[in-house]
Structure 1
Amino acid sequence: MRYSILDLSNVPEGRTAADAIANSVDLARHAEQWGYHRYWLAEHHNMEGIASAATAILIGHIAGATRSIRVGAGGIMLGNHMPLAVAEQFGTLATMYPNRIDLGLGRAPGGDMNVMRAMYRPGRDDFPTDVAQLQALLGPTRPGAPLRAIPGEATEVPLWILGSSLYGAQFAAQQGLPYAFASHFAPDALEDAFAVYRDRFQPSKQQATPHAMLAINVFAADTEQEARRLRSSMQQAFANLRSGNPGKLPAPVDDIEAVLGTQMTRAIDQALRVTACGTRDQVRDQIAALIEAHNPDEIILTGGIHDHTARLRSFELAADAVQSLTALAA
């Protein structure tokens, strides 16, 4: 079971975007040592608490600071960009870091209405056409073609489809592409999406068989109490986002219900229910249960933790937990 990291490059309260980027680089270096397979970053805009807006630039920075871990986008919001620009960016990355770059694609704007207006491309709202154009631009060399991505052509950068609904599952299946489901914050359609994807999958040049990735929030610590405290930062951040007041990643609290109230806490926990939280052994058991329930081909772990040292420890314990599952299976 391959295990990877999805990093939003969160900016903690009291810190800056520069701190967040430095923390992401440090986490990626450690993740490589701990056996993580991929390190993905997500495109978000106009958000004070997320430093990964220029996703391709940050991917290049992290790829240059590491040696072997795959680095990619989880994902690029394709509606915000022309396919040629994306092909050139990721073609350049793949040329600089061969066989290490992934390109996950999503349909959401990655921000609010202000972002949608600022990023709007007149006359273009056709995700399937954009994906097909990307595949052509990153595919085999086409001498004489009127439009070519240089660098880009012949790099065959692996494409992934990201989603939280049945549309993405259907499209990924039709195109024969790997599929990553956003179960870490929108798990309602998870079971149906995986079933649709696997039932309708059509083999392609890139992918002969279905390959589904499950996203899991992870908060691991040496004690269950500390893990729950670490989790409170993400609970607060998600509540702030839902309330229309996004900001930097809040500091943890001991009693989340005292801050959010019982009703809001329950609603947030329901949305974030694909979560493993606790000690190393508790996280191992919870991840094992999620794997048994959904049978993913790969898992990707994420988790907004305010203190960088605690975040490193959490992902270290999570890696050890997943490795122990592999050992048990063997």
Structure 2
Amino acid sequence: MPTSVPLSLLDLARVKPTETAADGIARSVRLAQTADGLGYRRIWISEHHNMPGLASSATSLYIQHIAAHTTNVRVGSGGIMLPNHSPLVIAEQFGLLETLFPGRIDLGLGRAPGTDGATMQALRRDARASEHFPSDIVELDGYLRGDTRIPGVHAYPHRSSGVPLYVLGSSLYGAQLAAHLGLPYAFASHFAPDDLEVAARTYRDRFDPAGPLAGPDAAPHFIAAANVIAADDPDTATEQYRRTELEWLRSILGRGRELTDEQLAVLRDHPQGRQVLGMLRRTLVGTGPDVVAGLDALAAEVQADELIVVNVATEEAHQQRTLELLAPGGEHSDHSEPALAAAAG
């Protein structure tokens, strides 16, 4: 049974230590094709830099690759970290994407660097660039609508492309900004769950349908994020989540060094490890009906208009099965045995 609100996917473009980047990208394509066939609304790709375990640093190119290998699903950024870029360059990139894939491209925007301080400098990012985030969004919107704020400067090849903008965030700042501008808002509750409820309420209470970037029929559109692992039986889902916790500790606390199983076991009970695992609090684990029920409860809790999920199972076969069990078009149970057999092998 599908969720009560539309369901979308956030792809973190992970690359496992035993894989090449090409392996990770190929897996993203296979999962995107499954999601496309099952009726998911959109797939968003995140921007990160200087992280060997993530392949989407050139986010626009990654979006193009996924869009080229799918047919119906919307594809976009979750998000482009706008202070890392010129608004004109992003408008040119996404105008081209919209030209290539008309009606299928989204542009989610965040203000974090998506990296560490040294890499920020290598990106030529001014430490104060995030202060210009609101005005950069307005400038970007002007290019995309063919209504430039800088006389004589236009984004080609596709003016007035109609690429929809979304503000992304993990704090009240983003909620307030999206409400003021009259734009949709997506909250990163998959890793920052603590402020989800107050951010949702703030956004709805303050939403301005006459905001500077609001459309003619503007209304609040709130997207909440959650991590998911669904399986045919609870034990399989629980085991996958245990492995996910270890991978999460390894990626965040390892910082480029390999951690042994014994070190990870110690970290699980360490205050720093518990803090890191607390970021996964919005993770729904269980059978398909259990996870769907949890997603419906989350949507009702924060009046979400849409949910975007991170498929955090560690093996592709289980990621594929999660997509099937949560499919907006209903469960496709005929694929269950081959998927689980592949995982067991």
Q: Extract structure 1 runs of 4+ deviating beyond 6 A.
A: none
2:195 corresponds in structure 1 to 189
Cα separation, 1, equivalents of 2:84 and 2:198: 28
Deviations 1:145-182 (A, max 9, x none): 41100024210210000001010000000000000000
Q: Counterpart amino acid of 2:185? A: Y
Shift of 1:276: 0.8
CA contact (8 A) 2:43 2:73 kept: yes
Deviations 1:295-326 (A, max 9, x none): 20000010333321221111211226x858xx
CA contact (8 A) 1:216 1:301 kept: yes
Is 1:84–2:84 an aligned residue pair? Answer: no
Is 1:95–2:73 an aligned residue pair? Answer: no
Which segment is superposed worse, 103-112 or 205-214?
Answer: 205-214
Cα separation, 2, equivalents of 1:206 and 1:165: 27
2:239 corresponds in structure 1 to 229
Please give the secondary structure, in 1, of the residue aligned with 2:189: coil
Is 1:288–2:296 an aligned residue pair? Answer: yes
Cα separation, 1, equivalents of 2:221 and 2:105: 17
Shift of 1:285: 2.2
Is 1:199–2:185 an aligned residue pair? Answer: no
Deviations 1:176-225 (A, max 9, x none): 00000000000111111111100110111276110000101001112212
Cα separation, 2, equivalents of 1:207 and 1:162: 21
Cα separation, 2, equivalents of 1:304 and 1:256: 22
Deviations 1:260-280 (A, max 9, x none): 433456434422111110111
Shift of 1:230: 1.7
Change (3 A) 1:296 1:323: farther
1:240 corresponds in structure 2 to 250
- CA-atom RMSD, angstroms? 2.6
Deviations 1:113-157 (A, max 9, x none): 122111234474410111011000001356994110002421021
Which segment is superposed worse, 238-247 or 129-138?
Answer: 238-247
Please give the secondary structure, in 2, of the residue aligned with 1:261: helix
* Counterpart among 258, 261, 268 of residue 261 in structure 1: 268
Change (3 A) 1:305 1:274: same
Change (3 A) 1:85 1:20: same
Deviations 1:81-110 (A, max 9, x none): 011110000000001101100000000101
Q: Counterpart amino acid of 1:93? A: L
Cα separation, 1, equivalents of 2:324 and 2:189: 22
Cα separation, 1, equivalents of 2:263 and 2:309: 22
Report percent identity of matched pairs: 45
Structure 2: stretches of 5+ with no match in the other structure:
332-345
Change (3 A) 1:110 1:98: same
Structure 1: stretches of 5+ with no match in the other structure:
325-330
Please give the secondary structure, in 1, of the residue aligned with 2:326: helix
* Counterpart among 292, 310, 316 of residue 308 in structure 1: 316
Which segment is superposed worse, 205-214 or 161-170?
Answer: 205-214
2:139 corresponds in structure 1 to 133
